[in-house]
């Protein structure tokens, strides 16, 4: 019998503060419609230094494990996809492994290729299980990033931060992936990168949009060929794209030859969470998936959806999966509406003060969260609540 493998549980962690995007537009002397309609943004998550890539990852991971009701001893692999790690050697996954008291007998590492890193982790986990090497165990895959371009840059309204954690397992309750049916497209380009030692990304904005469009066309064509060869229908109920800003998903969909009406049905329902959090780099595709399932899992049960992951530089992959019958119940356990409701709106002055901070303020973590508290003897310190 065919082994069913995919995403069994998914949970989200975001910073506790956000900026309304119209406040940012006014402060920059820009017509708010440019940000809301031109880019499709509504709100932007603002991480303070205590809410770093590790603390967001650990918070999301704990929620994903709880949502699945998983015993930690069932995990054999943890992979963190990130492009905003905290150390040149020690992976974010190692910190998370320690903070969550995960089993010793595990593979623990990070994967990196800009925003594709999380998908690299997901594919590794799925193939690890499919190969039999997992021996019945599950994987924890986390996407965690802080997207920063800097004050008054063109990329500023497309910042954001957050983590999405997924349990990857056999007989998944959320999404069964079509193993081996995917299209990939990679080229060596300088569209977006972050040299060592820089907090903010370098980006050739308009060129990056073009690189993304070239990649999505190529990867989608590859996926369609693979689907046809295996007699899998290329009809997709929804498509989740990597979302650096919401309008990019629309550009991608139209570029593939779909029309505006198709965008409203197939893509708009995937953008709800992304518009309220901003770019989460590795996590943006999975934020779209989380928002989609939270809104429409019941209607989508047993239907195939497409997913497009894009990592600047660049590598990309179009893949697909079928929504599981239990998806509505399982995504409800992630309490995504509560995660969003538990945030505080701040003004531009406060956002700029936080952006200028280089060390965390002395404050305890909020209930259920982890927090970076500073560096002692060159070792990063965390508190859990």
308: nearest Cα among 225, 237, 243, 250:
243
Q: How far apart are the first and last CA of the chain?
A: 44
CA dihedral sign, ordered 234, 301, 42, 156: negative
Instruction: Identify which of residues 154 and 385 has a Cβ nearer to ligand CAA in the complex.
Output: 154
Of residues 259-288, those binding ligand CAA (CB under 6 A):
279, 281
List the structure tokens of 317: 């992959």
Instruction: Identify which of residues 286 and 372 has a Cβ nearer to ligand CAA in the complex.
Output: 286
Instruction: Identify which of residues 15 and 157 has a Cβ nearer to ligand CAA in the complex.
Output: 157
Radius of gyration (C-alpha) of the chain in whole angstroms: 19
Q: How far is the CB of 194 from ligand CAA (least distance, A)?
A: 10
List the structure tokens of 4: 């069913």
Instruction: Identify which of residues 153 and 262 has a Cβ nearer to ligand CAA in the complex.
Output: 153
Could you give the C-alpha distances from 347 to 19, 128, 353, in angstroms and in order?
A: 6, 46, 10
* Binding region for ligand CAA (CB under 6 A) out of 2-10, 136-144, 243-251, 327-335: 243-251
Q: How far is the CB of 257 from ligand CAA (least distance, A)?
A: 17
361 sits near ligand CAA (criterion: CB under 6 A): no
Instruction: Identify which of residues 50 and 155 has a Cβ nearer to ligand CAA in the complex.
Output: 155
Q: How far is the CB of 157 from ligand CAA (least distance, A)?
A: 6
Of the candidate residues 18, 95, 212, 382, the single one contacting ligand CAA (CB under 6 A): 212
CB-based contacts of 92, cutoff 8 Å, min separation 6: 53, 54, 57, 80, 82, 85, 86, 110, 142, 144
CA separation for the pair 80, 124 (Å, rounded): 11
Q: How far is the CB of 141 from ligand CAA (least distance, A)?
A: 18
Number of residues that bind ligand CAA (CB under 6 A): 27
Of residues 317-336, those binding ligand CAA (CB under 6 A):
none
List the structure tokens of 280: 């989460």
Q: How far is the CB of 125 from ligand CAA (least distance, A)?
A: 22
Instruction: Identify which of residues 248 and 323 has a Cβ nearer to ligand CAA in the complex.
Output: 248
Q: With contact defined as beta carbons under 8 Å apart, do 18 and 43 qualify?
A: yes
Q: How far is the CB of 66 from ligand CAA (least distance, A)?
A: 29
113: nearest Cα among 305, 346, 317:
317
CA separation for the pair 166, 330 (Å, rounded): 12
Strand spans (E) along 26-125: 43-46, 75-81, 107-111
User: For ligand CAA, what does the binding mask look like between residues 164 and 203, x meaning CB under 6 A?
Assistant: ---------------------------xx----------x
Residues that bind ligand CAA (CB under 6 A): 31, 33-34, 37-39, 115, 154-155, 158, 191-192, 203, 205-206, 208-209, 212, 242, 244-245, 247-248, 279, 281, 310, 312
């Amino acid at each position: 019998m065919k082994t069913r493998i995919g995403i069994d549980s998914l949970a989200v962690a975001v910073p506790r503060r956000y900026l309304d995007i119209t406040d940012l537009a006014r402060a920059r002397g820009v017509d708010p419609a440019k940000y809301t309609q031109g880019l499709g943004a509504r709100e932007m998550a603002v991480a303070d230094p205590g809410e770093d890539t590790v603390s967001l990852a650990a918070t999301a991971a704990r929620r994903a494990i709880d949502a699945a009701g998983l015993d930690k001893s069932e995990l054999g692999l943890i992979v963190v996809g990130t492009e905003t790690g905290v150390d040149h050697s020690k992976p974010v996954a190692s910190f998370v492994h320690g903070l969550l008291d995960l089993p010793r007998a595990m593979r623990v590492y990070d994967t990196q290729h800009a925003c594709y890193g999380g998908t690299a982790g997901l594919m590794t986990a799925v193939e690890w299980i499919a190969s039999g090497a997992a021996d019945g165990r599950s994987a924890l895959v986390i996407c965690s990033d802080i997207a920063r371009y800097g004050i008054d840059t063109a990329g500023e309204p497309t910042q954001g931060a957050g983590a999405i954690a997924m349990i990857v397992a056999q007989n998944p309750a959320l999404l069964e992936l079509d193993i081996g049916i995917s299209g990939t497209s990679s080229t060596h380009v300088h569209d977006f990168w972050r040299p060592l030692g820089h907090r903010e990304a370098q980006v050739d904005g308009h060129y990056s949009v073009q690189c993304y469009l070239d990649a999505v066309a190529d990867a989608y064509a590859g996926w369609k060929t693979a689907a046809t060869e295996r007699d899998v229908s290329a009809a997709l109920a929804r498509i989740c794209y990597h979302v650096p800003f919401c309008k990019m998903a629309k550009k991608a969909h139209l570029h593939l030859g779909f029309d505006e009406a198709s965008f409203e049905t197939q893509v708009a329902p995937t953008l709800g969470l992304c518009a309220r959090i901003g770019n989460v780099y590795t996590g943006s595709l999975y934020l779209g998936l989380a928002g989609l399932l939270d809104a429409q899992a019941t209607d989508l049960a047993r239907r195939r959806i497409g997913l497009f992951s894009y990592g600047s530089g660049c590598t990309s992959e179009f893949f697909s999966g079928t929504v599981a019958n239990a998806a509505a119940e399982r995504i409800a356990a992630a309490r995504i509406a509560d995660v969003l409701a538990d945030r505080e709106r701040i003004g531009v002055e406060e956002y700029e003060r936080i952006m200028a901070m280089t060390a965390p303020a002395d404050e305890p973590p909020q209930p259920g969260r982890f927090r970076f508290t500073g560096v002692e003897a060159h070792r990063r310190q965390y508190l859990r609540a």
